Each structure stands twice: as structure tokens, then as C-alpha cells.
Amino acid sequence: MTWLRSVSRQRAHRNRTGALVLIVVLATAMLLATPPAHSQPRDGIPVTIVSVAPHIATPQSEVVIEVEVTNPATTDLNANVTLNISRVIMQERQQVSAWLAAADDDDPGSPLVSEPVTIRGDDAVKVRLTVPPGELGLLSSPDGLGPRGISVTVDGIVGDVSHQLGIARTFLIWQPQSSYEVPIVDVAIAAPITGNPAALITDTAEEGRLSRVVSATVDFSGVSWLIDPALVAAAEGTLPAAALPQLQARTSDETKQWAATVRSDSGLHSSYALEPFDADVTVIGSEPAPPSLSKSLRDTLDEITQYWGSGITLPRENVPRRTLIERAWTAGSTTVIARRNYQAVDPDDVSPGGVTTVQHANGASTVLVADPILSKTLTNPRSSSPAAAAQEVLAQLVVIARNNPDRRRNVLISLPRSWEPDVTTARAQLTALESADFVNSVSLDEFAAFGDDGTPRNTPRTSATESDFRLTPSQWSDLVELADKSKTFAQIATDPSAIAGPIADAVWQLTSVQWLDNENARNDIANQLNDQVDRLLASQSVVLGSDVNLIAASSALPITVANSLDQPVTVGVRLVADHPRLKSTEIDPVEVAPHSEVSVDIPVTAVGSGDVDVLVRLLSADGTVVSTPASFTVRVRADWESRGTIIIGALLTLMLIAGIWRTIKRGRASTRTSQGPTPQEPAAQDLTQASTSNESPDDEPGSHP
């Protein structure tokens, strides 16, 4: 038992010792892991490039970089802010992207100038870092043209060790030669101004997407606007009344002001009209051909676009295939924008021109091939500040210029329909572009005029990002048929355009690429449009009573025509019998007032007897049936009239003969009574006398009392 107690005491002692050691270790680890109250966590300092002046540095330039450094801690920070430069010339565009994508602890470059700062807790300071002329240490020969990576680092003390606490990277654009010696890049920028008319009030508000697109580009003549003219008409309230409430755009003071700005400032740009309602050329360029827009809408759009260009298509697909280009040609557009691909067959040709030609069954179309890197840089720059974003786009362009000293390059920047610009950033980028000696801004027409440079390219077989939700061929045929039906029907109306126009315009609206993201809503509206056309055709009807008995060889059938439209109509009324025993005579067209009925008599002739099924058709002026025919049955008994006539005639004849016979008979009897005996009848006379002489005397007159 004693040894058991001894072992227990030893175990307890060891347990207490182990626990103390564990506590000491944990406490030490916590102390080491917790920085002093005055220190900052590594990489915890936001650094923002505020400005780079000038955008393009020359050997005579004083370079000034302004940054903002923020201290997120609650205690003051003492730090050094340093401007660094990498003197390696970036000769490939991948190097530009790699510099921005570098990790914070990657090489920041060689230090140029440093400034000590003290930043209070929860505060920020701006620091100007200035490099005098001649101290950059860069090549002064033309070979030195190109971007250099620069960075601004913030170093501070963590514990007793100096650490880099924050970094921001951008570019210095170095141009050692004069402006007339620098190689030129022709740059065209295509900015679409399109959207959903149903979202106009939101999109044209002060911070709305469409307002920001216009604000970002309005002052830069080098930006070509691709505008949906129907969207402008909708915003200003001049779009004709829609066939359905869901297609009617709502307006406000903001939408009208936005439309006025677009219309007034479109003259400062190279502006081009897209298809009305931003129609999908893949659909409207296919069979059957789309219906004609209403005259009122066409007149409105012609007035809006009278000074704009046309004939340029911006497909929904980033990479349009040959079939799409062919359909755009059918729709009237011989120039198509491809937002990417169409690479050169030769992989070593990294900078082909931006214009190529695509042959198709209908002829040849010009394809303007956008630069995907520059388009993305302007749309969604890697840089986090407007100043850095401006240097980023210049860095990409100067690499292109440097690599083509003997060949003038042309580059297209194509912005997406869904562009959500930060106005300040976009304006900083566009300002930098227009100020660069190696950039020449051109319109899309001028860009297309550069022509195909002959570079063999890979033409895609399929379109990238092609939507599965566009109208199918059968859906498109059904929509065109609705427009055709309404147009045919409208011939009977006093104002045909008021009936057919809204239907045709609605068909165009349903082809908009804006619906490709909302297939269910589009199909629902298409079904409602179909119902509306059915109601339109049913607005003209024939009011029928019971079946008709016709016992005459010729007569007139009364037909009542009803019109439920808001305007008068003129219709032809025709009877079509299923048997030749009944034939009708055509009558002049009948005018029916709004919401009223008119009864007309249709002359008919009948032969024989039998039931005849008759269709009543209402026709337009060209003989087209404009409503569902009505039917009724005519019981033809035309021989009843002849048989009755014969019978009645026979009876009358018999009655006449009988009357004549009786008359003759009565006449003979009267003659015998009134005349004496004739000389030829003496015996009869003697006999009479003898009879008289033999009478009794009592029979003489006066012999009786």
C-alpha cells in the first residue's frame, strides 16, 4: 500500500509540473502572437494612387506622383512612403498585366524618392513624391519608348523590424522622342447606348446606368456612340402607343432630360443608329422577313437619326460566326463588330490590324475586330484608382505602338451593352487617351476605311456566348404571321395604320436582345399579342338567325354585319354555297360605323330542292377574308313555286271552264223561256192548244169561289 501512495504522489507531481509548463508555453505564444499596441499588421495599409503627372513623361519632365495612405488602426503610425521604379522596358502586353497582378511582396523596383510621414489613427494623408528631370535614369533614345512599372510602398516598424505595410502599383509611360517621331496607334471606341425601355426611369436617374454611360463619354469626341433610336424615342415620350401595356415605356423628367442630352450631344460624336429596339440581327435577318415598322414610328426614328450613321451591327455574341454576319448583311448591315477572337492564323503575329473581311453567301462583310485586353481595361480595369487606371490603358497602347514602329496599327475598343462605368475612372482613362501623342482617335467609319490588312485569320464556326433563348425559327414565323394578319385585316379600316402599326412594332420589340435574359417574359408577351390579334379578327362578325327557307327561284337573303372596332370599316360580303343549286350575286362593299350593325340583302337564285350550307365571308378590298366565316343552312325549295303555280293554274283553269259551262247552260235556259214557238214547231203548238181546250170549265179563271 505504501508504494501505491508513493506512485500516486509522483504522478500528481508530474501532472502539476506538466500543467505549469503548458501554461508557460501558451502564454509565451500569445505574447509573441500579439503585436505591440503601437504596431500595424503587415499589408494592412491601403495605398491609393491619386495622380500621375504627367501621364506621359519625357526627358524634360518633372514627375510627380501623389498617393493617399490610410491608417486603419486607432494609434498613430510613423512610416516611410517610397516611390520605386522598374527600369525594364515592358515589350509585351502580358508584362503590363503581370506587373499589376504581382503579389505585395514581389519586387517593387528600385527606390527613387522617399518621404517620412506620421499618420494619425483612423486617418489618411496625401503624399507627393517628386522626381526632378533627368533623375529617372531611363533611355533617352527612341528605343526607350514604353511603359515602366512603378510602385509606391509604405514601410513601418512591426516590433523591432521594418516591414512593408502597403503597396500600390502603376506605370510610368516614357516617351523619349518628340511627338512627331513617335509611332501612332489609331484607336476607335464603340460605346453602345442601349437598354430595356421598361427600366428607363431607373437607368436614366442621376446614378442610373444609362446616365453614367453618357456622362462618362459625352465630352470625348473620339468615342463613337451606337444608339438604339427607339430607346431615345421612348425616353422622350415620342414612341407611338404600344400594342400591349407591358411594351409601353414610362417617362419622367429625368428620362426626357437624358434623351435631350443624347440628341443634342450626338452631333459631337460619330453616332450610329442600331436596329430599332436593339433588334437581334440573327432573327430579323432570317426568313421570313420582318414586318415594316409603323409609319408613325418610322417617321419618329427618321427624325431622331437624321444626322447619324448606320449600317453597323453590334451583335449580342462576342464572337459572331459567319451565319450571323450573313444575316446582318440581309438586315442591311455590312459592318459587324466582333468583340474578340478572329485571331491571326500565324501565332507569332500578335498585333494584326482591327479590320478583316468575311465572305459569305450574300457577298462580303467588314468585321471590326475589337482588342479584348483594351476593351476589358476600359470596362473593368485592374487598377483601383482613376489615375492608375488611366496609366494602365496607356501602358497597353504604348506597347502596341512600340512594337509597330514601321506599321501604323489600328485598335478597336468595344464596350459591352451592360457597361456599368465608374464615371470618374472612365473619364480619367479617356482623357489620358486623347492626350497621348501615340494615340489618334478615329470614328468607326474611319476605322473601317483602313480596310483588311490581309492577315489570314481564323473565322469562328460558332458564336461565342450565343444565347439559347433567342426566338426560334418557328416562333419568329408565328410573330411575322401575326403582323401579316393584322396588316391584311387593317385594309378594311378607315385608318389601317392605327390597327396594324402597333402589332408590327410589337413584333420588332420582341426581337430585342434585351429579352434574351428574360425568355419567359418575352414568351408571355408574345402569347398576349397573339390573343390580341385574335380579338382583332373577331371584331368583325356576321349576326345569324335561324336557318332560311327559300321557295322562290330568286330572292334576297338578309345578312347582318357587326363592327366592334373604334373606327368605321368597309367590308365586302360574299355568300359561298356548297352546292350550285344556290347562287348569289355580288354586291358593293358595305360601310359599318364603329360599334354598330348593318343589315344587307344578298340577291340569290335557286334551282331545284335541297338543303344548302352557306358560308358568309367578310372581305377586304383585295378579296382577302378578314374574319372567321359564319355559316348557316338554306332550305331550297325552288320547284315548290312552279308546282304550286301549275296546280293553282290548273284549278283556275278548271274553275274557268266550269264557270263558262254554267254560264252557257244558264243562257240556254233563259232563251227558251222568253221566246214563242217557232214556225218549225206547229205540232207542239197544236198539242198545247188541244190540251188547253180539254180542260174542265171549273179550271177557268173565276170559276172558283
pLDDT tens string 494-515: 999 999 999 999 999 999 998 8
Q: Which three cell numbers stand for residue 319?
A: 464572337
| Between 40 and 135, residue with greater pLDDT | 135
Please state which of the ranges 2-16, 413-427, 465-479 shows the lowest mean pLDDT.
2-16
β-pairing, 185-193 with 409-414?
parallel
Q: Name every residue whose Cβ is closer than 8 Å to that of residue 553 and which is 6 or more positions away in sequence.
A: 605, 606, 607, 638, 641, 642
pLDDT level of residue 314 (50, 70, 90 thresholds) = very high
pLDDT level of residue 102 (50, 70, 90 thresholds) = very high
The secondary structure of residue 629, as a DSSP letter, is: P
pLDDT level of residue 468 (50, 70, 90 thresholds) = low
| Between 154 and 673, residue with greater pLDDT | 154
Number of Cβ atoms within 10 Å of the Cβ of 251: 19
Q: With contact defined as beta carbons under 8 Å apart, do 207 and 172 qualify?
A: no
Q: Closest by alpha carbon to 615, among 606, 605, 625, 623? A: 625
pLDDT at position 695 over 60 = no
Q: With contact defined as beta carbons under 8 Å apart, do 463 and 202 qualify?
A: no
Give the residues across from 78 on adjacent strands. Answer: 118
Q: Which three cell numbers stand for residue 556?
A: 334576297
The secondary structure of residue 195, as a DSSP letter, is: -
Q: Which residue, 514, 537, 560, sits at the end of a domain?
A: 537
**159 and 255 housed in the same domain:** no
Over the stretch 620-655, which tens digit does the pLDDT of each residue have? 988 889 888 888 888 877 555 555 455 566 667 777
| Mean per-residue pLDDT of the chain | 85
The distance in angstroms from the start CA to the end CA of the chain is 198
676: in domain: no
Q: Closest by alpha carbon to 122, among 177, 188, 44, 181? A: 44
pLDDT > 70: percent of the chain:
83
**157 and 52 housed in the same domain:** yes
**249 and 356 housed in the same domain:** yes
**201 and 267 housed in the same domain:** yes
Alpha helices in 191-333 (DSSP H): 200-203, 209-217, 229-236, 253-265, 281-284, 295-304, 322-330
Q: Is the peptide bond before 288 cis (omega within 30 degrees of 0)?
A: yes
pLDDT at position 24 over 50 = no
**359 and 267 housed in the same domain:** yes
pLDDT mean over 198-227? 95
Over the stretch 328-365, which tens digit does the pLDDT of each residue have? 999 999 999 999 888 888 777 666 789 999 999 889 99
Q: Which three cell numbers stand for residue 607?
A: 334551282
Q: With contact defined as beta carbons under 8 Å apart, do 292 and 504 qualify?
A: yes
**286 and 363 housed in the same domain:** yes
Backbone φ, ψ for residue 103 (5° rounding): -70, 160
What is the reported pLDDT for 573? 92
What is the reported pLDDT for 13? 42
**93 and 81 housed in the same domain:** yes
289: in domain: yes
**300 and 348 housed in the same domain:** yes
What is the reported pLDDT for 341? 82
121: in domain: yes
Encoded amino acid at 368, one letter:
L
Distance CA(143)–CA(89), nearest Å, equals 9
What is the reported pLDDT for 416? 95
Q: Which three cell numbers stand for residue 646?
A: 301549275
pLDDT at position 131 over 60 = yes
Encoded amino acid at 457, one letter:
R
pLDDT at position 34 over 60 = no
pLDDT mean over 156-175? 88
The secondary structure of residue 151, as a DSSP letter, is: E
What is the reported pLDDT for 606? 80
Distance CA(669)–CA(674), nearest Å, equals 9
Distance CA(230)–CA(238), nearest Å, equals 9
User: Which residue in this structure is represented by grid cell 410589337?
Assistant: 506
Over the stretch 645-682, which tens digit does the pLDDT of each residue have? 555 666 677 777 777 777 777 766 555 555 554 444 44
**511 and 608 housed in the same domain:** no
pLDDT mean over 532-560? 83
β-pairing, 110-119 with 77-86?
antiparallel
Q: How many helices (H) and strands (E) does the chain have?
A: 18, 26
654: in domain: no
pLDDT mean over 425-451? 95
* Secondary structure element (H or E) that encloses residue 2, with its range: helix 2-33
Encoded amino acid at 516, one letter:
L
pLDDT level of residue 547 (50, 70, 90 thresholds) = confident
Alpha helices in 291-407 (DSSP H): 295-304, 322-330, 372-379, 386-403
pLDDT at position 202 over 80 = yes
Give residue 528's domain range.
Answer: 473-537
Q: Is 442 helix (H, G, I), strand (E, B) or coil?
A: coil
544: in domain: yes
Q: Which residue, 174, 194, 213, sits at the end of a domain?
A: 174
Q: With contact defined as beta carbons under 8 Å apart, do 513 and 281 qualify?
A: no
pLDDT mean over 551-560? 80
What is the reported pLDDT for 465? 55
Alpha-carbon Rg for the chain, nearest whole angstrom, is 50
Q: Which three cell numbers stand for residue 49?
A: 494612387
**348 and 363 housed in the same domain:** yes
Q: Which residue, 174, 197, 224, sits at the end of a domain?
A: 174
pLDDT mean over 434-459? 91
pLDDT mean over 104-121? 95
User: Which residue in this structure is represented by grid cell 197544236?
Assistant: 686
Question: What is the distance, to the nearest Å, from the Cα of residue 216 to the centroid of all Cα atoms in its chain?
Answer: 24
Strand ranges across the sheet with 554-563: 540-543, 554-563, 596-606, 582-584
**575 and 506 housed in the same domain:** no
Q: Is 534 helix (H, G, I), strand (E, B) or coil?
A: helix
Query: Residue 544 maps to which CATH number?
Result: 2.60.40.10
Q: What is the largest CA-CA distance in the chain?
A: 206
Over the stretch 567-618, which tens digit does the pLDDT of each residue have? 999 999 998 888 888 888 888 999 999 999 999 988 888 877 888 888 899 9
pLDDT level of residue 22 (50, 70, 90 thresholds) = very low
What is the reported pLDDT for 664? 78
154: in domain: yes
Question: What is the distance, to the nearest Å, from the Cα of residue 551 to the centroid of all Cα atoms in its chain?
Answer: 61
**529 and 557 housed in the same domain:** no
Q: Which three cell numbers stand for residue 298?
A: 418610322
| Angle made by CA atoms 220, 221, 222, in degrees to the nearest 5 | 90
- Exposed, middle or buried by CB within 10 Å (0-12, 13-18, 19+), for 8? exposed
Encoded amino acid at 431, one letter:
T
Question: What is the distance, to the nearest Å, from the Cα of residue 359 to the centroid of all Cα atoms in its chain?
Answer: 27
Alpha helices in 450-539 (DSSP H): 473-489, 496-509, 519-537
| Between 515 and 258, residue with greater pLDDT | 258
What is the reported pLDDT for 349? 67
211: in domain: yes
pLDDT > 90: percent of the chain:
61
Distance CA(225)–CA(219), nearest Å, equals 12
pLDDT at position 19 over 90 = no
Over the stretch 518-537, which tens digit does the pLDDT of each residue have? 888 899 999 999 999 999 99
| Number of domains into which the chain is organized | 4
Distance CA(266)–CA(625), nearest Å, equals 47
pLDDT mean over 276-305? 95
User: Which residue in this structure is represented by grid cell 514601321?
Assistant: 406
Q: Closest by alpha carbon to 425, among 216, 258, 629, 649? A: 216
pLDDT level of residue 462 (50, 70, 90 thresholds) = low
b/e sequence 470-496, b meaning 16+ C-beta within 10 Å? bbeeeebeebbebbbbbbbbbbbbeeb
Q: Closest by alpha carbon to 577, among 618, 537, 634? A: 634
Query: Residue 246 maps to which CATH number?
Result: 3.20.110.20
Distance CA(107)–CA(87), nearest Å, equals 12
| Between 143 and 665, residue with greater pLDDT | 143
Over the stretch 172-191, which tens digit does the pLDDT of each residue have? 999 999 888 999 999 999 99
656: in domain: no
pLDDT at position 295 over 80 = yes
Q: Closest by alpha carbon to 635, among 581, 574, 575? A: 581
Q: What is the DSSP string of 99-141?
A: HHH--TTS---EEEEEEEEEE-TTEEEEEEEEE-TT-S----S
What is the reported pLDDT for 667? 64
What is the reported pLDDT for 610? 81
pLDDT at position 9 over 80 = no
pLDDT mean over 408-436? 95
Question: DSSP strand E in 569-698: where?
Answer: 569-577, 582-584, 590-592, 596-606, 609-619, 630-637
